[in-house]
Amino acid sequence: MKNYYEILQVNENASTEIIEKAYKVLVKKYHPDLQKDEKIKEVTEKRLKEINEAYDVLSNAFLKEQYDIELKKEKEEQFKKTYGETDYSTEKGIRSKKTIEEQPQKSVSNRRMGTFGGIIDFVKMLYNDRPKRQEYKEMTKKDLLAVVLTIIVVIILGVILWFIPFTNGWIRELIFENPIFQWIGSIFS
């Protein structure tokens, strides 16, 4: 089964906007009319067909949901093939000898999982995955903007409530008689 997320070079949790942007970038990059060499033109046509197929599935919500289910099943089967079914015996909490022998040899990257080298490999993977990194940057900017806007709204509400006569007493009580604000004031005095 083809991994359409890898073809479009996006994360599996990517939004439809990010998928669309990645599609447009890849179409511009691999468009056959932009290639001069015939051999390269044939390769880019093949690549463009894969990109279009991936976008057709991932841009349709129903097809994407079905594809994600199938992809998840395939990954679970691959995981079972790689690591085997683990059978924990009830005595002493040790895996049975049979499953350990049946388990295939792990690759070097799998053996490093959970070690310092594994962490370095993970960071390298994140660094090399540019669309994912860009998505994280966009999320961080949005989160920061939301926090700043929330603080500004709270300050504006406080100022408005301070100048309304019947809420002025409540705000004064909140600020000047609250033990938390008194403790903060004692730090700065």
Answer whether 135's CB lies under 8 Å from 19's CB: no
Is residue 92 very low, low, confident or very high in pLDDT (cuts 50, 70, 90)? very low
Per-residue confidence (pLDDT) for residue 93, from 0 to 100: 47
Is residue 32 very low, low, confident or very high in pLDDT (cuts 50, 70, 90)? confident
* Cα–Cα distance for residue pair 92/41, rounded to 1 Å: 62
Does the pTM surpass 0.95? The reply is no
Alpha carbon of 173 to those of 23, 64, 154, 181: distances in Å? Answer: 57, 55, 17, 10
Per-residue pLDDT of 126-171, as tens digits, reads 666 666 666 667 777 777 888 889 999 988 998 888 888 888 888 7
Most confident stretch, 66-75, 88-97, 116-125: 66-75
> Does 130 fall in a domain?
yes
> Does 45 fall in a domain?
no
With tokens 């089967």, the residue in question is 77
Q: Which domain holds residue 163?
A: 106-189
> Does 9 fall in a domain?
no
- What is the domain count for the chain? 1
> Does 152 fall in a domain?
yes
